[in-house]
Amino acid sequence: MRTQRWTTTLAAALGCLVPDVRAQTGSLKDLGSLLASQKNLTTFYSLIQKYPQILFQLPSQDGVTILAPNNDAFEKIPYTELNAAFANNDQTIITNVLEYHILSGSKTAAQLIPGAPVFIPTLLTNPSFSNVSGGATVENVKQAGDVVVFDLEFNGGYVQVIDSLLIPPANLTTTIESFNLTSFEGALYQTNKLTNYTTTPNSTIFVPQNDAFQALGPAIANMTTDQLSAILDYHLIPSQVLYTPNLTNGSTFVTANGGKITVRQGGNNLYINSAQLLNANILIANGVLHTIDNVLNPAGPDALPNPQIASQGPVFASAERASNLPFTSAIPCTSSCPVSSVTSASASVTGEGVAATRTSVRSSATAVSSSSSRAGVARARETGLGGVGLVMAVGGAVLMI
């Protein structure tokens, strides 16, 4: 009942139809008054006023945490892939994006700063972005430094100010293209599994980097479709969304192939069988993906890593490095073809140029992720802000404290 009361209050404060303001509780402001009082949140406030329906679905006894992008964050939209949606006033995408900024549960900034990354469900449940149980998650990661935090409390939870808009997870297809995981993508095309992998809910997918396929050469490129299917299915764990905190030393998981994989820890590295986890916790619409440095072999589940060496050797007999990238010719050449390096280098105002820019933003995000385990959808953030109390990232955006 409390929920109903404060959404009513919200609606009133936002100038909506509901006249009942008696429910105003205690001395805490309602969300509308709080946002109106923050000079850095005026753009977000107008957006919420424009899409008040978001607030009518606010849940729960436990309140919510609203990650409110500051005005500067909106200035960056033209440089992000949200540009088209905002320029065209695409109501569906904007609503999804706003929902992705609302976390279940009322959390102070201190509670958002964990020792290990935590993944908090959001209100976003549109299956195009969130075919997972309980809504798309946002990862938050502790940055270095001591923290003194100021929470903006309202009568339904907390508002936390962030410096960039969060971008909801893209689907598997889009994500592997962004991360240039083209051999894996081609192998999924070749076996006609791409749509299945992209739409199977609650999945964990281990994706070997291109070099892993190249190192195998004909040992994988010459497989029959059935053999290749069996290998690929050994990289998908259905019905379990496993982030790195779930990948504990010695744990085993059953794959779509039926065989089990084993997680091993050596020093600070995690291994899946003997393949090292490289870029972890990349959020996708139907779960999470992690990149690895080797193709997993269901015929050799007991392969052990050698943590003393930087990269693990192939686990397929007769591996022989190829000069080309296996399976990439199976990727149909459409508008989503990877942009050539020439185009990448010169971002222009053409459609291709936009794609190239996006690729470069994504790849810089990749670089960040590999060192910090940040969500793969993490976006470039303002580097000039470093140091002024920016101590934590939520889904790639920096919390302003």
Ligand X SMILES: *[C@@H]1O[C@H](CO)[C@@H](O)[C@H](O)[C@H]1NC(C)=O
Which residues ranging from 329 to 368 are in contact with ligand X (CB under 6 A)? 341, 344, 359, 363
If one asks whether residue 392 binds ligand X (CB under 6 A), the answer comes out as: no
CB nearer to ligand X: pick between 10 and 194: 194
Query: Which run of H or of E encompasses 264?
Result: strand 260-266
Instruction: Provide the 10 A C-beta neighbour count for residue 263.
Output: 19
Segment contacting ligand X (CB under 6 A): 22-30, 56-64, 170-178, 291-299?
170-178
Euclidean distance between CA atoms 350 and 343, whole angstroms: 10
CB 137 within 8 A of CB 118: no
156 half-sphere exposure, CB direction, 13 A CA radius: 31
Site for ligand X (CB under 6 A): which residue of 265, 343, 370, 372? 265
| Cα–Cα distance for residue pair 259/238, rounded to 1 Å | 12
* Sole binder of ligand X in the list 83, 128, 257, 372 (CB under 6 A): 128
Alpha-carbon span 141 to 154, nearest angstrom? 24
**Under rule CB under 6 A, residue 43 binds ligand X:** no
Q: Which of 198, 273, 291, 297 binds ligand X (CB under 6 A)?
A: 198
Is 269 an interacting residue with respect to ligand X (CB under 6 A)? no
Q: Is residue 373 part of the contact set for ligand X (CB under 6 A)? A: no
Interacting span for ligand X (CB under 6 A) from 100-108, 244-252, 345-353, 368-376 = 244-252
**Secondary structure class of 165 (helix, strand, coil):** coil
Closer by beta carbon to ligand X, 114 or else 313? 114
Q: How far apart are the first and last CA of the chain?
A: 32
Residues ≥6 apart with Cβ < 8 Å to 223: 231
Which H or E element spans position 270?
A: strand 269-272
Part of the chain binding ligand X (CB under 6 A), chosen from 29-37, 96-104, 130-138, 296-304:
130-138
* Enclosing H/E stretch for 53: helix 53-56
How many angstroms separate the CA atoms of 46 and 41, rounded? 9
Angle between helices 182-190 and 225-233 (to 10 degrees): 130
Q: How far apart are CA 338 and CA 89, in angstroms?
A: 28
Stretch that binds ligand X, among 101-109, 140-148, 224-232, 238-246 (CB under 6 A): 238-246
Q: Which stretch, 6-14, 54-62, 193-201, 389-397, contacts ligand X (CB under 6 A)?
A: 193-201
Given candidates 57, 88, 195, 227, which one binds ligand X under the rule CB under 6 A? 195
Beta carbon nearer to ligand X, 80 or 198: 198
Out of 68, 98, 112, 242, the only residue in the binding site for ligand X (CB under 6 A) is: 242
Task: Provide CB contacts within 8 A for 349, sequence distance 6+.
Answer: none
Is 123 a binder of ligand X (CB under 6 A)? no
42 is an interface residue for ligand X by CB under 6 A = no
* Pairing verdict, β 287-292 and 203-208: parallel
Task: Report which of 84, 104, 86 is spatially closest to residue 95, judged by C-alpha positions.
Answer: 86
143 binds ligand X (CB under 6 A): no
Q: Which of 40, 95, 89 is nearest to 69 (CA)?
A: 40
Region near ligand X per CB under 6 A, out of 26-34, 172-180, 347-355, 376-384: 172-180
How many chain residues interact with ligand X (CB under 6 A)? 39
Neighbours of 150 (CB within 10 A): 12
Binding string, residues 273-292; x marks residues near ligand X by CB under 6 A: -------------x------
Q: Which two tokens stand for residue 27?
A: 């001395």
- Among 196, 257, 262, 372, the residue binding ligand X under the rule CB under 6 A is 196
By CB under 6 A, tell whether 59 contacts ligand X.
no
Q: Which is nearer to ligand X, 325 or 380 (CB)?
A: 325
Binding site for ligand X (CB under 6 A): 40, 70, 72, 127-128, 131-133, 161, 171, 173-174, 180, 195-196, 198-202, 210, 218, 222, 239-242, 245-246, 249-250, 265, 286, 325, 341, 344, 359, 363, 400
